[in-house]
Each structure stands twice: as structure tokens, then as C-alpha cells.
Chains A and B, each alone.
Chain A
């Protein structure tokens, strides 16, 4: 069995590869957009090209979400279960993509990831010690959970952008989760210091009042 540390490391490398692939597709799309004059095409042809590009990037988005799906239970399950879980997710996504189309496959992964990420967030908020994070500290864990939840919500939001009400609601939840998550994650020590300082300050103040009352 791989060590937990090395397992995390390889997950990071795999994430790097997937993000690099998405980057390359984006760059290729830019050049194709210019070469084929997509902006000059009639709306139907433009939408068809966008759908084609969506289908091209969807497998990598699925891969990214599967990786996220592994990262999330990595914090809940022993390593031995992770491979089974990842395989199960991939098979489910592959089957549903083959049967119902790539969008449904992506939606399935999104729903599973959303459920898991919410569970992790709740456990992180409750301060559960069962979670296994690369980051240490309460705020770092909460922040990391929120950022990953934000990514899942963002992709989910892309599904519903034609429904303005739902899209805007999801969008603002995404923005709030991502931004607050990054602040908690990046500045975990500062937040903890400030909050602990505040608690310490309150304690000293109460102590002072008590002594004054005794005098």
C-alpha cells in the first residue's frame, strides 16, 4: 500500500497533469477561434462549435472532479478504500456518460462530489479529528473544504446558467464559499491568532473585572 504522504503527492501530480491538459485545450480553442473566425459565424454554428468544445473538455473536467472526489474521501476513508472508491466513481461516470451522454456523467460526479464535500465541510466545522488533511489547523481545514466545495458548485453553476434565478443563487454561494475558503486557507494562522488573541483578551478583561469587584 502506498504511504499516505506519497499518495497525496501523486494526487497533486495528477491534478497538475489534468489542469495542464485543460490549459492546452483552452489555448488550442483560442487559436481555432481566430483561425476559423468563430465570431463571424451565424449563432447556430457558433453554438455548435461551443458544444463541440464543451464535449472535448468534459472528460478532463470529469477527471478533475474524480480527483477531487478522491481528495475528499481521502480525508474520511483509509487509503485502501480510496482506490476502490475512485474506480467506482470512474465506472459510474463512464457508464452514465456512455448511456446518457457526457453531461449526465459529469452531473453524476458533481452530485457525488457535492454530497461528499458538504459532509467534509460539516465535519471540518465540527472540528472532527477523523479528517486527514495536508493542512493542519482548524481554519486551514475549513478553508480547504470551502474552496473545494466552491469548485464543485462553480461547475454545477455552469450547468444551470440558462436559468437566471438558480444560476445567480448558485453563483453567489460559489463566490462566498470560494472567497471565504481562500481567506481561511491562506491566512489560517492569522485568523487563529486573532481569534485566540480576542479570547485571551476577553479572559483577561473578565479577570480584571473580577479582581476589581473583589477590591
Chain B
């Protein structure tokens, strides 16, 4: 199997990663399988995007059967890539436990017990027989974009079965192509997987680390493992939000089409996506609440990301309320405009993590 030279260079020289750790978890195999998969996804979705543009420009449908088949293939490829990501996480779980020398365990547990006193949410004690292991959810770092866009691909496939128009379907394909291009160029989860995670744990697996230095590292890695990587809420809060983002994207497309004319079948499709998205968004946001209290304490209220999420939720609630009166001409357009505003609010909320400081920041 042939790969581009750049990829070969990158996989041999992952920054800051000593060779043994990458070998232990078969990272090279993951990269070797993931890159061609993502490339295939890019090629296929580009072809679908071209088909989408043609359909948008034409009065009559063009190659709809082939496009549907392509969309099914895109979903299969996305699913295969997701399984591959799951495999990498499983390897991390099995092969990278935080093991400490036995003689340090008792001392460390005394320290942990002391720090747990008076804390609302304490850290579990270290068990030498079962050292802590990472149970990393499948949507952290660049993988979250993968999951988000995969959700959109699945929704597009489901929406394809509903009566709409070839132009609406074309617009879904164009948006899918844009998303996969972004994934390939800016957020590839396969070529350099989990860079932050590996940067965090690399010193731990470096050879010749002094025992006391290892304890110091443990006290940094362990709380992050407990309250972030292994948090139960991490398995629910982000995927619910990302799936709701995909629903909002579909509602946005339907709202754009609603502005151009009275199309009840497209409006109904957009409304169904909005209802499901709102359910997931509300549940996802609610489940983030006790997690925030656990991880950050009570002082996270009015954090910029929380503010933008509430803003998005309020706009979404407004959209669903006005939709009750969408049969009035003015409300039809107002409701459509709110559907578009929801999408803008979603993009703003997502970017808030990069642009504003606070607990959720990626700055």
C-alpha cells in the first residue's frame, strides 16, 4: 500500500513521542489505516459535493441514485473510521495504565486520603492490583469534529428518504463535502491522533524517570483522568451536543429553503430535525451541569461558554415557539430567520471555546 511521502515522514517523527509508547499501542497501524480511509472519504464527498452543486443549478434532478449510493458509502466509511478510533482507545486502555512502584502506593494513598478530606468530590485511592486506566471517550480533540460530521452524514442519509427536492438534497451534499474537507485539512484525527493527550502522558512513559518525579506526575495526570477523560458525563454530554449540532445544521438548510418559498415538506423536515436536536441539546446541556460542579466547583456560572450555550438554547427555544405559528405569513419568514440565527449561534458557541477565556477554553 503506498502513502504520500509527507505522511511517512510524519508518522516516523511524531513530536515528543518516544518510540516504545507508539509501538506498544500500534499507533503506526492506526495511522496507516486511518489516512487512506480519510482520503477515500474526501474523494467521495468531493464527488458528492460536485453532484450537489449540479443539482442546485439544475431544474431537474441529476444522478440522484448514484448520489444516494455515494452517501451510503460515505456513511460506511465514517463508521469504519469510528471503529478504528474505538480500537485506538481500546489499545490505550489496555496498554497504557498509570502503574506506580508498589513501595510508593501506600505513601501515595495517604496523600490522596489527606487531599480528599473535606472535598465534595474526592479521588479514588490507588489500587496496585488494578492501576488506573484511561477510558477515553471517542470524541475528544480532533475526534469531536469527526463525530459531529459523521452525525451530519447519517442525518443527511435519513433525510434523503423524506420527500423534499433535488436542490435540498444537493445542498446537503455540498455541506457534507465542506465538512469532510475541513476534517481532512484542519482536523484530521488519524495522522496525528490525540496530540494533547499524548503530550500529557509522554513524560510518564519516558525511560529513567525518578520514582518521586513519577508520583508528582501521577498527581497531575490522575485528577485529569478522573474528572475529564474517564468522567461518565464525558460519554453523554459532548456526543449529545455534537449530534444536536448536526440537527441544527439540517434545520439551517431547511430554513434557507423556506426563505425562498413556501415548501411545507422541507419545513416539516427542518422542524423534525429541530425537535430532535432541541431534545438532545437540552439533555446534553443539563448533563453538563452536575459534571461542571464536580470538575470545577460552583464558580463556573457565567463562564463565556456557558453564556453562549444558554444564548443558543434561548434562540432555539424561540424558534420552536414561533414555529407553532409558522402558518402566518410573517411568522413563516420570522421562523426561518430564527432557524438561520440558530445556526449562527451554534457556530458562535463553538468558536467561543477558542475566542474567549474560561473553563471550556481551548486557547
B219 interface residue (CB < 8 Å to A): no
B285-321 contacts to A (CB < 8 Å): 286-287, 289-290, 293, 298-299, 301-304, 307-308, 310-311, 314-315, 317-318, 321
Question: Is A58 part of the contact surface with B, judged by Cβ < 8 Å?
Answer: no
Residues of chain B contacted by A154 (CB below 8 angstroms): 286
> Contacts of A19 on B, CB cut-off 8 Å?
314-315, 317-318
| A15 CB–B CB distance under 8 Å | yes
Chain B residue numbers with a CB within 8 Å of A20 are 314, 318
Residues of the A chain whose Cβ atoms lie less than 8 Å from the Cβ of B289: 171
Interface check B89, CB cutoff 8 A:
no
Shortest C-beta distance, B316 to chain A (Å), equals 10
- Taking a contact as CB atoms under 8 Å apart, the answer to whether A29 and B307 are in contact is yes
Main secondary structure of the interface of A (DSSP, over half): helix
Interface 0/1 of A39-55, CB less than 8 Å to B: 10001001101100100
- Contact in complex: A39, B298 (CB < 8 Å): no
Asked if A159 is an interface residue, CB under 8 A from chain B, the answer is no
**In the complex where A12-B324, A16-B322 touch, is A50 in contact with B352 (Cβ < 8 A)?**
no
For chain B, which range describes its interface: under 10, 10 to 19, 20 to 34, or 35 or more residues?
35 or more
Per a CB cutoff under 8 Å, which of B276, B304, B315 touches A30?
A: B304
Question: In chain A between 37 and 79, which residues have their CB closer than 8 angstroms to a CB of chain B?
Answer: 37-39, 43, 46-47, 49-50, 53
Q: Which of B171-204 contact A (CB under 8 A)?
A: none
A34 part of interface (Cβ distance < 8 Å): yes
Pick the residue among B275, B293, B299, B357 that contacts A47 (CB under 8 A): B299
- List which A186-206 residues lie within 8 A (CB) of chain B: 186-187
Measured CB to CB, the closest approach of chain A to B353, in angstroms, equals: 12
Binds B, one of A93-101, A105-113, A176-184: A176-184
Q: How many inter-chain residue pairs (CB < 8 Å) link A and B?
A: 96
The size class of the interface chain A forms with chain B is 35 or more
Q: Is A87 positioned at the interface, with any CB of B under 8 Å from its CB?
A: no
Identify whether the interface residues of B are mostly helix, strand, loop, or mixed. Answer: helix
Give bound CA distance, A50 to B307, whole Å.
Answer: 12
Chain A residues with a Cβ under 8 A of chain B = 9, 12, 15-16, 19-20, 22-23, 26-27, 29-30, 33-34, 37-39, 43, 46-47, 49-50, 53, 134, 154, 161-162, 164, 167-168, 171, 174-175, 178-179, 182-183, 186-187
List 10 tightest A-B contacts by C-beta distance, closest first: A26-B307, A186-B275, A30-B304, A26-B311, A23-B311, A19-B314, A23-B314, A182-B279, A30-B307, A19-B318
Interface residues of B (CB under 8 A from A): 120, 275-276, 278-279, 282-283, 286-287, 289-290, 293, 298-299, 301-304, 307-308, 310-311, 314-315, 317-318, 321-322, 324-325, 345, 352, 355-358
Listed A/B pairs (24) with beta-carbon separation below 8 Å: A16-B318, A16-B322, A20-B318, A23-B315, A26-B310, A26-B311, A29-B304, A30-B352, A33-B303, A33-B358, A34-B355, A34-B357, A39-B357, A49-B302, A161-B293, A164-B120, A171-B289, A171-B290, A175-B286, A175-B287, A179-B283, A182-B279, A182-B282, A183-B279
